[in-house]
Every structure is written in C-alpha cells, then in structure tokens.
Chain A
Amino acid sequence: MRARGTLAALLVGIAASAGATGEPQGTGGAHTSGVDPTRGTQMHTYQEALAARKLGSMLPLSLDDVQTRAAEGEDLLRAGRVDEAVSRMVDLVESPQIVPFVNDEAGRAVIFALADAYAHAGAYQPARAYFRKLLEQPGAWDKVATYARRAVRRLVEIGIESEHYDEALDDLKGVPPSAPEETRGEVSYLMGRAAEARHDPDAALAAYAAVTQRSRFWAQATYLQGLILVEKKQYKEGENMFCKVADPKRATTSTPVYADERFFAVRDLARLALGRVAHEQYRFDDSRYYYYLVPRDSDRLAEALYEAATSRYEKKDYQGARELLDELKGLQIHHPYEDEAWILDSYIDLAQCKFKPADDKLLKFIALYEPVRDAARRVQNDERAMNALLAAAREGGDAGNNEEGGAALSKEALRAIAALLRIDPAYGVVVRQRAVLEHEVSGLHLTVGSLGDIRQQLATNGGVRPAQVDKVTDDDRARDAKDALDGVRRMVSDLEGNGAGASQVAPLKEELGKLQVRVAAAHAASGTTQPTEQTAGTDLPDLLRSDEQTATRYAEPIEQARAELSRTENALARDSLRRVDLRLSRLLRRARLGRIESVLGRKRALEIEIEAINNGFLPQDAVDALDAARFLKDSEEYWPFEGDDWPDEFIGSEGLK
C-alpha cells in the first residue's frame, strides 16, 4: 500500500521534468498598458537622435551584413554572452537600415536572435513581443516557415517556464490551422498545461490527446494523460497511456517518436507510474516487473528499488524485499529514501523474527536521525544557513561545506538533511528569478556609469574618462557590514549548538536582529534617490538624461522585488525543512514502535521455547549444547565413535569375563 501514499507524488515528478508548479510570481503581462512591449521605441528614438547628429553607422546594410550579424548574435548566445547579444541585436533590429530586410529570412533571423537573447536573459516581456512580431509578419508561415516555427517553440517554453499560460496562449493565437503538425502539437501541449493549471482535467485530456508523436512533447503529454486518468480512478486507461511511453520493446519497427534527454526522464517516470498503479491494485508481481524496468543509469533508480522493496514486503516476500534493499545499499549514493529504507530494512528483520538485528538497526537509526531532525529545526531559524543548504541540495553540491551554519551543525547532519530534502520546484523558480534580478541590477551599475561617459563624450567632443577612483563605495560598505553580521550570527549559532542557555543567547539574538534591521535600512536608503521629473526631448543629451533618471527610479522597486523574492524563497525553504522534520519525526516514532515490537517479539520467542520444553521438546540450542565438538579448543580434535569396532577385536583384557 505504499503506492497509495506515493501516488500523490506522481504529479510532483513531472513538475521536475516538465516545468515548475506553484503560483506564478508577478503578473508578467506583456501588454502592459502604455508600455511598448518590445521596449524598442526608445532605441529607435536614440537611432534617430544619433542620425540627426551624424553619429553612428549611416551606411546601408547588405544582405550579407545582416546574415553575418545574425550569425554573430547566435554565436554570442551559444558562448553565454547574453548581454552582448541583446545589445547588438537591439541596435540592429531597431536601426532604420534593417527595414528593407525585415520581411525576409535574414531579417527574421535577426529578430529571432534578439527575442531569443532576451528570453535567455530572463526578460520575457520583450522576448515575447519580438516573437509575436515574427508570427504576425505577412508571409511568416509561407514555405518552410523556419523562424515562425522556432518562435512558437520558444513561446511555448517561455509559457511553461513562467507559468503565464494564458498570456502564452494569447501570443500563439495567430498560429494557423495549416501550421505543421509538430507546431500544432506544441500549442496543444501548452493548452493542456494551461487547462491543468486551472484544474480542468477534461480539457487537459482533450488537449494532450491532440499532441502527436511528431511533437517533442508527445511523451510528456501521454504521461500527463495517464496521470489524469489515474486521478480519475481509470487505472486501466491510465496504464495504457503509461505503457505507450514506457514500452520496453520499442524497436526500429515501432512508430518513431521524438526523443531527447527529457524523453528518457519521462519514460522512467512512466515506468514508475506503472509500478505504482500495479502496487495500488495489489498486483505485486506486476509492480516488481515495472520497477525492474527502470534502468541502472536512471536518476529514479533509488526510488524504484525502494518502492519495489516495499511492494515485496507487502506481498510477504521478505527475502525479495531484502535483496532489493541490499541492491539499493550497493548503489552507495545518498538518496531521498535513505531514512525510509532504513526503517523498512528493520521491519523486514522484524517480519523474519530477527529481533536482535532489527533492534540494533533501529537503535542506530534513532541515534543518527534524532540529531539530524534537531539540526533541521535549528537550520530553519537561520536564513543564510537554510538557503545555503537548499542551494547545495538543489545544485547537487556538498552540503557539508555549508559554512553558514557555524560549527554547531555537523557536516554529516547537514549532508543527511540535504539528502532528505524534497525541494518544491517553485523554490527553483524563485531562486532563478533572484539570480536574474541580481545580474540585471549589477549590470545597471555599469549602465549608469556608461551614461555619464556618453554625456561627457558629447559635452567634450571626445574627452577622456576621468581616472577611476578606487574609493570605498556604498556597496563595499554594505558588504562589509553584512559580512561582519554574518560572523556574529555564526558565533551565536555556535553558542546555541554548544549548549548555551536560551536566556544567555536571547539578548544576543535580539541585538543581532536590531543590527540586521539597521543594516538593511541603511542599504535600502543608500540606493534610494529622490525621483526627479522626467526630461522631455528627443535630442541625444535629453534622451541620456531621461535614461539616467529612469535608472535611478529603479532603486526602490528593485529593493521591493528583492525583499519579496527573499520572503518567498525563505518561506519555501522553511517549508522544505518543515517537511523533513515531519517525516523524520514520523519515522522516529515508527523506530521507537519497532523497538517495542522487537522486545515483545524476543519475549514471545522465549515463551514459545519454554512452552516447547514443557512439552518435552528441547530447543535447538539446547540440542546443540550436547554436541561435544562445541567444547573443543582450536588445538583439539574430536573423532566421534563411528561404529567400526569388530566383535573379535582385542580390547586389552582378552579372555577375562
């Protein structure tokens, strides 16, 4: 019946491979009222201002130039130089010289490169606007329609990643019914995800059914159909769907499907799902077979082995369960089922009446995991340590190297927590958003400096930049203050971990909290500048001044966004640790119960033995006690009488009666 508990986890699995779950952050509308969704108008105004001053390139572009620069943009993206790709492509796409090429393949390639670069940078609004521009072009779907199809693919990816399904579907409403089959499959898959997000399983089923094997999302759509059917208790139909993906007999004669690395992840999920459905229906042998299909190189192998062991245990095939657990141990990896596998192992011993080994294992479990559970609770009270731990767990790093927790949290405890964490995919989304925001904010420093340089260049007709002053900046001071506070926080954590009383630590923590508030307030104040009135005008200095003012106005929303993302990140991190605490507490209770059962079992075994002796049966160890060989030393030998005496053999006193 493990399946009954784990079936709910099926939906969690797909989130990891096909996108994140949870409420979307922000509104994210591309059609924000009064704002040019591409943000290209201001660049266009700059181009005109530059042209008016006869600055910048005035030469017309040839087709070769456009193609070369589009290829350069794609090369920059491949090399991870995303910011450069964005700036170069914006310059080209919004220049008047590109106009003759906009509606041909070279122009489309440039627009696609710009949209793709924005999407890579995490700026989805302008990315979607440029992709939409591609789709709305006359003749966009003529001939092979390379860029229209690529734009649809990227829009679907952005929709899934951002979970702004309705907006993504709105972007795709221009895709004609005559579009290629795989492109229609992309749209259908997105419609299915959107229907699932608004809790409409029937609409989702219909949409997923329209995804054909020519689509890269066929495996995901089929798997998700299976999940919906299983949720509706239509197990047979659900199994049929999973079988389509999990088919181990797929061969060259089978209908070909699009398969990339995600296909194999979904195939393993489908095999696990088949095992779980069979398990749910008490078809334990079937479930064993399906779990067996998960290959040894799969990330899901530990999950499959553990669940297969559970199903064998429930079938009362304890030896089979033991073998599977031994195989799981043989992997020698940390996995999220370590704690549960340990308890199952002990319960298999109990079931086989091996009370002493069971008790030993349970004792070890309690000794190991009680401190881990306590450490998980302590980490929850320390934001930096908590986030460092989750970052290590999410990125597969060594959590034992987390220095944020101080010496009070042992490396082994931190590693054990990291192994047990089941991180909500929404946490990954928030962390990514924060990283994007920090990168953009860092780039904004350079932009503000560049604006000053450009203004000076215009004012002095090519003056040299003033010497770089290496004085301590506000950012440096803020970083120093934070580092100093982190040191104090670690020392307080060490005190707590080494048994300092709550009354001793409380005033220190209170003082630390006040200092943190002061540092945060000072940091926020240093970035806040008084808003000034927006400068009007279309000449270059006016535009530069206007952008300088715009840059300073971002300080406040940046701080707000940082605070909100940090709040969400902490809430999600704390929730992950709370769930570890709940699980370990349940398993510790189960371990204590198991110990009681082992004591009762040993007592019962003794009683049976006494009862047998009363009935005249010697227990096996008593029978063994009569065996003389048991009492020999290593240097002694014993030759038992084997009945070889002859009747006429001389025995020493022949003739004596």
Chain B
Amino acid sequence: MRAMATRHVTVALGVAACCVVAVVAFAKPPQGKPKPQAVADAGVDTTSADASAAGAGAQGSSPTTITMDGGVASSGDTGPVPPPSMLHGDFGDGGVRPSPLNPAPNEFAQGIDAGAPTVDYDKLVADIAALRARVAAVGDNLFHSRIAIHVRIDGDHGLIGRLVVSLDDGAVYTAPPNFKADDYQEIYAHALAPGRHAITVDVERKDNRNDGFRNSQRTRFTVEIPRDQELGVQIKIGDDSDMGKDFPSDKSGSYDLRVRVKAESHAAPGKK
C-alpha cells in the first residue's frame, strides 16, 4: 500500500510539523463561541493503530502531539516515544498488511440472546388458525346468507402499499405486495349470519412518480345481508391524487383517494 509507505517515509517530519501546529493552536486566545462537544466514536480498539487517532476528536481541548502512526498523545508525555505500532503490527500471510478497511469482527452479526421464549409460538398460531378454520367451516354449513366482496383499483399513478379488508373488525383479506386489480376481483366469499355487518377497508397508496407522497385511509361501511341472499359488495378504490406530479414543481397539489362501495343482493347459490 502506497499510502502506508508514504506514511512510513513522512512520519518523522510529520511529528515536527504537527507539534508546531499544536503549539500554535494552543497559543491562540480563547474564542468567544464554545466548541461543540465532540462525539465519541464507537468500538475504539485501543490496541490498534487507529485507536490513538480515534481520540483526536475527543481530546480537542488539550494540547496534543500527533504520534508517528498518526495518533495523538498528551503533550505531558515526556518519556521516550514508543516505536510506532504499525512497524510491529500483525502482518498477514505473505508479509502483506491487512487492509485498514477490513471490518472488525464485531461488525458482523452475532447471535442475539433475547431470552428463552415462554410461549410456544408455533402451537399458539396453529391453535388459532385451526379454531378459525373450523368456526368458519361450521358457519359455512349453517348460514344460507352469504357475502362476496370484490375489489377494483382505479387510477394511473397510485400504487397500493397496503390493503386490508376486514369484516366485523377481523381481517379477511390482506393484499399481497404490489396488488393490482384493474377489474373487479373477488377477495372474499363466505356464509354469514343475516343482518348488519361492518366492512372496513384500510388502504395506503403511494404515488408511482414519487413514492414520498403517500396517504392512507380507513373506511368503515355497514351493510345488511338479507336472509337467504348473497350480498355482492363491490369496493372501488379510486385515486386522482396529483401530489406526486404537481407538488415538486408547483408547490401545490392534492390528494384524492376515494373508497366507494356498491352492494347488491341476490338469491344465494345452493350449497354443494
């Protein structure tokens, strides 16, 4: 490494030059404005050649001398200058010094001990999933009334970041990433008790011209499912927002996200 070689050659001159710089700096009258407090570097390895340099920021208030390896030492150190550690450093195979850019071992991911789990997560999820499945299956067998929810996304520049459709506050559909539905797409169809139910549409959209502009909306609709009928619910998410296009240039734009629902009932299909 040529930079290292340069450092070898110039260290002696460097000491003298930097002594002068340090003394000149010390001789300056105190400034009116206090210096901001230096922030300490993390992970300083005191055994490495870099460690001494690391303190350079932190020891700004005391007169310092730059050592041969580029570090700093207190001017009060009057003893013999130790040999530069870089000349006795740990060489790699073949006598080539490891690159100074090599990451330290502690920069790699180590195992994290977050404590032993007290809940059997797999069992809990399996139990809940099985309970939900069997109750849904029993409901499907008992109720003749049904609901079928369809979704359509309109708008040229809106991308769906998140779309969750809930029925009576329980999520029944979570859209996959980059969900698209240019035409009505069925997302849920199931038997339900006749009567009133709440559908919640939780949508977050972002602009494909500048995804820094995004908005979310939670809309709750109440629908009534007639006895022995299937209620078709069509959810249309329209987006005419122009923030991503207009605001960066004109400093003026608008969000226009609309969730519209159309419900229509008809005779429920026969059970298989």
The chain A residues found within 8 Å of chain B, CB to CB, are 1-2, 4-6, 8-9, 12, 22-23, 25-29, 32, 35, 39, 42-43, 46, 50, 55-57, 65, 69, 79-81, 83-84, 86-88, 90-91, 118, 121-126, 162, 282, 310, 313-314, 316, 318, 340, 343-344, 347, 350-353, 370, 373-374, 377, 395, 397-398, 400-401, 422, 424, 426, 433, 436-437, 439-447, 449-451, 453-454, 456-458, 462, 464-468, 470, 473, 475, 544, 547, 550-551, 554, 557-558, 560-561, 564-565, 567-568, 571-572, 575-576, 578-579, 581-583, 585-590, 592-594, 596-597, 599-601, 603-604, 607
Which segment of B25-33, B77-85, B125-133, B250-258 sits at the interface? B125-133
B115's closest neighbor in chain A, by CB? A567
B198 touches A43 (CB 8 A): no
CA distance A121 to B94 in the complex (A): 54
B124 A558 Cβ-Cβ under 8 A: yes
Give min CB distance, B255 to chain A, whole Å.
15
Residues of A within 8 A of B111 (CB): 22-23
Contact status of A564 and B3, CB under 8 A, knowing A1-B97, A582-B107: no
The secondary-structure label for the interface of chain B is: mixed
User: What distance in Å separates the Cβ of B7 from its nearest Cβ neighbour in chain A?
Assistant: 6
B9, B105, B125 interface centre (most CB from chain A within 10 Å) = B125
Q: How many residues of B contact A (CB 8 A)?
A: 107
Q: How far is the CB of A416 from chain B (nearest CB, A)?
A: 16
Q: Which of chain B's residues 94-112 have a Cβ closer than 8 Å to chain A? A: 94, 96-112
A457 touches B129 (CB 8 A): no
B101 and A590 within 8 A (CB): yes
B13 and A87 contact, CB distance less than 8 A: no
A443 to B166 CA separation, bound complex (whole angstroms): 9
Indicate which residue in B101, B102, B114, B139 contacts A568 across the interface (CB closer than 8 Å). B114
Q: A8-B108, A398-B212, A440-B129 are in contact. Are A470 and B222 (CB under 8 A)?
A: yes
Q: Show 15 residue pairs from A and B whose CB-CB distance is below 8 angstroms, ordered by the A residue.
A: A39-B127, A39-B134, A46-B134, A56-B142, A88-B137, A125-B123, A126-B129, A282-B94, A445-B170, A464-B227, A568-B114, A579-B108, A592-B54, A596-B66, A599-B17
Find the residue from B54, B94, B115, B211 having the highest chain A CB count within 10 A: B54
Cβ–Cβ < 8 Å partners of A9 in chain B: 108
* Residues on B with beta carbons closer than 8 Å to the beta carbon of A65: 272
A543's nearest neighbour on chain B, judged by CB, is B138
Task: Answer yes or no: B175 CB below 8 A from chain A CBs.
Answer: yes
Q: Tell me which residues across on chain B come within 8 A of A370, comparing CB atoms.
A: 39
CA distance A318 to B5 in the complex (A): 14
Most buried by B among A443, A544, A578, A582: A443
Identify the stretch in B41-49, B231-239, B240-248 within 8 Å (CB) of chain A at 4 or more residues.
B41-49
Q: Nearest Cβ in chain A — how far from B68, in angstroms?
A: 10
Chain B: minimal CB distance from A242 (Å):
21
Check if A589 sits within 8 Å of B3, measured CB to CB.
no
Q: Which residue of A lies closest to B144 (CB)?
A: A462
Interface pair A571/B188, CB less than 8 Å apart: no
Contact status of A586 and B103, CB under 8 A, knowing A22-B111, A90-B133, A467-B195 = yes
CB of B53 closer than 8 Å to a CB of A: yes
> From residue 168 to 182 of chain B, which have CB atoms closer than 8 A to chain A?
168-177
Other A-B pairs, 14, CB within 8 Å; known A46-B134, A439-B171:
A2-B102, A5-B98, A27-B120, A316-B2, A347-B101, A436-B125, A454-B193, A547-B135, A575-B109, A600-B7, A600-B14, A601-B6, A604-B9, A604-B10
User: Which residues from chain A contact B98 at a C-beta distance below 8 Å?
Assistant: 1, 4-5
Q: Is the CB of A440 within 8 A of B53?
A: no
Within 8 A of A (CB), among B151-181: 166-177
The answer to whether B121 touches A28, judged by C-beta atoms less than 8 angstroms apart, is yes
Q: Does B56 contact A (CB under 8 A)?
A: yes
Query: Given A282-B94, A465-B195, are A83 and B172 neighbors across the interface (CB < 8 Å)?
Result: yes
Inter-chain CA distance A447–B139, complex, in Å, is 10
Which residue, A6, A84, A581, A600, has most C-beta atoms of chain B within 10 A? A600
The chain B residue with its CB closest to the CB of A584 is: B42
Q: Indicate whether B23 reaches chain A with its CB closer than 8 angstroms.
A: no
Complex interface: chain B residues within 8 A of A443 (CB): 128, 132, 170-172
Contact B129 A446 (CB under 8 A): no
| Residue from the list B6, B122, B194 in contact with A124, Cβ < 8 A | B122
Q: Does B143 contact A (CB under 8 A)?
A: yes
Complex Cα distance, B109 from A637, in Å, reads 66
Nearest chain A CB to B97 CB, angstrom units: 7
The residues of A that contact B123 with a CB separation of less than 8 Å are 26-29, 32, 35, 125
* Cβ contact of A464, chosen from B39, B195, B220, cutoff 8 A: B195
Decide: B7 and A442 in contact? CB cutoff 8 A. Answer: no
Distance A491 CA – B6 CA, assembled complex (angstroms): 50
Cβ distance A593 to chain B, nearest Cβ, rounded Å:
5
Residues in B whose Cβ lies below 8 Å from that of A424: 109, 112
Are B11 and A600 closer than 8 Å at their CB atoms?
Answer: yes
| Known A12-B108, A43-B137, A454-B138; contact A592-B56, beta-carbon cutoff 8 A | yes
> Across the interface, do B175 and A440 meet the contact criterion of CB distance under 8 Å?
no
- Closest residue of chain B to A580, judged by CB? B107
Contact of A585 among B11, B42, B101, B187 (CB under 8 A): B42
Q: Which residues of B contact A571 (CB under 8 A)?
A: 112, 114
B198 contacts A468, C-beta separation under 8 Å: yes
Q: Of all chain A residues, which has the CB nearest B3? A: A350
For the complex, give the distance between the alpha carbons of A310 and B4 in Å: 15
CB-defined contacts of A585 to chain B, threshold 8 Å: 41-44, 54
Contact check, A347 vs B3: say whether CB atoms are below 8 A apart.
Answer: yes
Contact between chains at B114 and A442 (CB < 8 Å): no
Q: With a CB–CB cut-off of 8 A, which chain B residues contact A465?
A: 193-197, 225
Assess the B138–A586 pair: CB atoms within 8 A: no
Name the residue of chain B whose CB is nearest to the CB of A468. B196
- If the complex has contacts A4-B92, A446-B167, are A572 and B127 also in contact, measured as CB distance less than 8 A? no
Contacting pair A603 B13 (CB below 8 A): yes
CB within 8 Å for A457 and B112 given contacts A5-B98, A65-B272, A440-B128: no
